[in-house]
Amino acid sequence: MSLSVTRIGKSFVAEVGGVDLSQPLDSETAEQIRQAWWDNSILVFRDQDITDEQHVAFSHNFGELQGHSVTAWLSRDHPEILVLSSKGRSGAMPLKNGGAYWHSDITYEAVPPMGSILHGITIPPEGGDTLYADMYAAYDALDDETKALIDGRMAIHNYQLRYIKMTEGGARPAPTAEQLAEWQDVRHPVVLKNPDSGRKALFVNEGFTVSIEGLGKEESDALLEKLFAHSEKPEFVYAHKWRPHDIVMWDNRCTMHSATDFDDNKYERTMQRTTIKGTALQQAAAA
């Protein structure tokens, strides 16, 4: 059976069929999936009831894997797997809606991940969708004045503020001294060039971007607020309604995502993620 790649919903999501992710991929299929990933940003695979080992093995087709600085969320058996489970799983601490705010993964590190691969295991019958935003389209749709203002600029990203906000809501355990020391400011281009597609993407997110360099606080806050509101507009967003054993993989350099709420008193939601290491981000050349 040969691979099929079919655009769904918006212009940046494709469903991939004709492949069994429990089996090792031949090099041609792996290359076709990589190409489809650069062409589409988000790939959806249905009905892939894979084991943790198979999830890790599949992920290695795209690069080296990384863990997470909150090690309590990692699977004890497979530390390459981040467990987002309202009940906890494989020794990992329960976590309800790990990413229930707009963000790209781990942009608070000096070299953010290239992408993530999420396996939906236990899916609530209502709620718990994942929203994805197309940050190429969001960049392209900006007016020329805004593009001129942000092209060539750097933004500061930091995890501390977000994490502390989550602990105040009771959704996270108190950070350790090591974590606080590790979560320092990092700088990333506001507009990056994705080396795998050559395209320009807006690269700021509500989760972790705290300011834009070279602007006063008021101007920076106002510009970030405007860029967040712009990129979260429905026209750039695809809502993924999970079925058990969906695999969704996103290019983290040109998309953002946010989990939607669900009733964790009534339902369990369990997802597992592998995270592909990135390479140093490239500033896009000014228009």
Q: What residue ranges bind Mn ion (CB under 5 A)?
A: 99, 105
Residues 118-157 close enough to bind ligand OGA by CB under 6 A: 118, 130
Q: Which of 41, 116, 194, 211 binds ligand OGA (CB under 6 A)?
A: 116
Q: Among this protein's residues, is 60 annotated catalytic? A: no
The reply to whether 259 sits near ligand OGA by the rule CB under 6 A is: yes
How many positions of this chain bind ligand OGA (CB under 6 A)? Answer: 11
Structure tokens, 171: 């959704």
Q: How far is the CB of 235 from Mn ion (least distance, A)?
A: 22
Annotated catalytic residue: which of 78, 103, 172, 240? 103
Q: How far is the CB of 260 from ligand OGA (least distance, A)?
A: 8
Q: Among this protein's residues, is 103 annotated catalytic? A: yes
* Nearest residue (CB) to ligand OGA, 116 versus 205: 116
Residues 73-112 close enough to bind ligand OGA by CB under 6 A: 84, 98-99, 105
Residues facing residue 115 across a β-bridge = 251, 276
* Nearest residue (CB) to ligand OGA, 130 versus 220: 130
Q: Among this protein's residues, is 140 annotated catalytic? A: no
Q: How far is the CB of 9 from Mn ion (least distance, A)?
A: 19
CA distance to 131, 267, 269, per residue, from 86 (Å): 19, 9, 6
Q: What angle do CA 203, 133, 87 make, to 5 degrees?
A: 105
d(CA 149, CA 42): 29
Structure tokens, 2: 């040969």
Q: Among this protein's residues, is 257 annotated catalytic? A: yes
* Nearest residue (CB) to ligand OGA, 253 versus 273: 273
Residue of 77, 72, 76 lying closest to 95 (CA atoms): 72
Stated as kind and residue range, the H or E segment containing 181 is helix 177-182
d(CA 285, CA 147): 11
d(CA 104, CA 237): 14
Q: Is 273 exposed, middle or buried (0-12, 13-18, 19+ CB in 10 A)?
A: buried
Q: How far is the CB of 204 from ligand OGA (least distance, A)?
A: 17
d(CA 148, CA 184): 28
Residues that bind ligand OGA (CB under 6 A): 84, 98-99, 105, 116, 118, 130, 257, 259, 271, 273
Q: Active-site residue numbers?
A: 103, 105, 257, 273
